[in-house]
Chains A and B, each alone.
Chain A
Amino acid sequence: MKENKISIGKILIYLFLTLWALTTIYPIIWVVQNSFKAKDKILANSFALPVGDLFTTANYKKAFSNLNIFGSYANSLFISLMVAFVVILLAGMAAYALSRYHFRGSKLLYAVVIAAMMFPAYATIIPVFSMEFSWGIVNTDSWALSMFSVILPQVAGNLSFAIVVLCGYIKGLPIELEEAAFMEGCNAFQIFFKVIVPLTKPSFATVAIFSFLWSYNDLFTQMFFLRRPEMWAITRLLNQLTSQEGTNYGLMASAVTLVVVPLVIVYIFLQKYIIKGMTAGAVKG
């Protein structure tokens, strides 16, 4: 029953909301337009559009020749996709067993899952490092081993949250379909892969997106485990850039653009799922 006439209050509300929206959009536009200017021209007037004499692609040429952008992207994508995949597979299996089977100790196991959400990465990272060091998978020449040294702890960090979210979803599924499959002679594993997995797809998507973005953005773990430049993921590369080329503003602007723009595009298309996935993570303590 909201009235239709335009009131001063409404105008003020729109004004305020637009102002906040500007603070989230404009910085990105600003950095993109400055990435197309020569580094000594940025400082003169950073609000001007890069047209005419101002326009240059030198920053991008430098970024691609000096920085291993594509390699880092490939590393990032590989790590984050693997994390998302392993998390949904293992968490899906565990959540299925915890929500469908009744056995002694199931409550205790669920409590173990919940408690694991409380451990901050700070409190586990040093022992995890020495453990992986003793296995010989950190700081080696092998690309695959280096990737796995990051993937494994990141999987562990997302598992408990994923199990909680998936348990909530699987518990709400009607059991009749599983009964029908059982009558047809399916065993528990066939029921899981042929009935539960297809039905749980929306929740799997939520969990996968959350795990993917969390892993993609997680600088802390990458700083510990990715030591060699050719193994760096994209956030690790950016961090290095600040300390090495902190005064080359053109290069910084182009590097930020190269990292942010793909995310913007993905976000525009998948925003509904991303927002859902990230806020479902609200239970992750």
Chain B
Amino acid sequence: MGANIYKNKKPVIVFLFPAFLFMMVYLYYPFVKNIWNSFREIKQLGGQGTGFVDPWYGNYAKMFQDANIGTSLINTLIMMLATLVFQVGFAIVLALMVDNIKRGSRFFRTVFFFPIVISATALGLLFNLIFLYDKGMLNQILEILGKRELTDWKAEGIALFTMMLPVIWQYVGFYFVILITGLNNIPEDLYEAATIDGATGFQKVRYISLPLLYNVICTCAVLAVTGALKVFDLPWTMFPKGMPLKSTFLTGTYMYYQTMEAKNVDYGSAIAVLIVVLGVILSKVVNAIFKEKDY
């Protein structure tokens, strides 16, 4: 019977055409064109280029001499590790804690998730005020706690830390919600059985919650790593153009800088290709490390 309705296949094309046309024109074609562009000489956004780069792989050769590429790669890798360890790590701790309480779990869920809804640009402005040298919120708190001199949170050396803190902070709640949903799916009778066998709260976490949460944690790890490659809004708002002294570039912000500020559109395309390659390699690596297990 079900086959009868859908025997006439003509409507399929009408249903599929608009969406696939969109994807071809706005995703697949530009993706391929971007690789082509990275070999062309293009100095103006919107231009088709004046010929090929000499030698044709010139933009890729340039990356090896470009110190900023090194900086942005290292910064991006640090960002990835930091998100993996602190974002996911913190989320696990918070989720396990909320799972162990009765009152207020809904409240904490709402409050922890809240920063994700706010645009990263607005948060960038907010954190600019918090990290202000001359009596931003943080320096005032430190002063109350008895610290004498003010800290310049945007100085070289500490800038990277200042940039990563809000990025990490914003998304803890996201992984928290995914993890707490995973925890809620663990059947209650497992805990009851463990209690009868005399397990302590800590043992229950160690031998029931964490092993059964393993696959969810893997998902979070993959998301955190690929997410770190896409970060743009917050760093660009707080540290435009890689300030100070081009030391806070990430691969994404550097691609934008080369394309829009330095007008090296072809080089920007090549960096975009680098971002794609990096994303594919890193998600393969993370998938290999956090291999999902069947229980």
Contact = CB atoms under 8 A, between A and B. Distances in A.
B118 A260 contact: yes
A2 B201 CA distance: 9
Contacts of B236: 219, 239
Interface string B1-38: 11011101101101110111011011111110110010
Contacts of A128: 26, 30
Given A175-B2, A235-B119, A127 B135 contact: no
B256 A96 contact: no
Given A2-B102, A182-B4, A116 B30 contact: no
A198 interface: no
A267 B109 CA distance: 13
B268 A90 contact: no
B213 interface: no
A102 B283 CA distance: 32
Interface string B162-205: 00000001001110011001000000000110010000010000
Contacts of A152: 22, 26
A245 B87 CA distance: 32
B114 A17 contact: no
Contact of B11 (A123, A189, A219, A223): A189
B52 interface: no
Interface string A72-116: 000000000000000000110110111011110000010011001
B34 A43 contact: no
A163 B19 contact: yes
A30 interface: yes
A69 interface: no
B92 to A, nearest CB: 13
Interface in B234-250: 236-237, 240
Contact of A191 (B1, B5, B280): B5
B279 A21 contact: no
A259 B23 contact: no
B272 A122 contact: yes
Contacts of A249: 129, 132
Interface of B: 1-2, 4-6, 8-9, 11-12, 14-16, 18-20, 22-23, 25-31, 33-34, 37, 45-48, 90, 94, 97-98, 100-102, 104, 107-122, 124-130, 132, 134-137, 140, 169, 172-174, 177-178, 181, 191-192, 195, 201, 219, 223, 226, 229-230, 232-233, 236-237, 240, 252, 255-256, 259-260, 265, 268-269, 271-273, 275-276, 279-280, 283
20 contacts: A1-B191, A1-B195, A24-B169, A90-B18, A93-B15, A97-B16, A124-B27, A124-B34, A125-B30, A131-B25, A131-B29, A134-B46, A159-B19, A182-B5, A219-B121, A223-B256, A242-B237, A243-B240, A256-B125, A260-B118
Interface of A: 1-2, 9-10, 13-14, 16-17, 20-21, 23-25, 27-28, 30-31, 34, 43-47, 90-91, 93-94, 96-98, 100-103, 109, 112-113, 116, 118-131, 133-134, 138, 152-153, 155-157, 159-160, 163, 175, 178-179, 182, 187-189, 191-192, 213, 216-217, 219-220, 223-224, 234-235, 238-239, 241-243, 246, 249, 252-253, 255-256, 259-260, 263-264, 267, 271, 274-275, 278-279, 282, 285
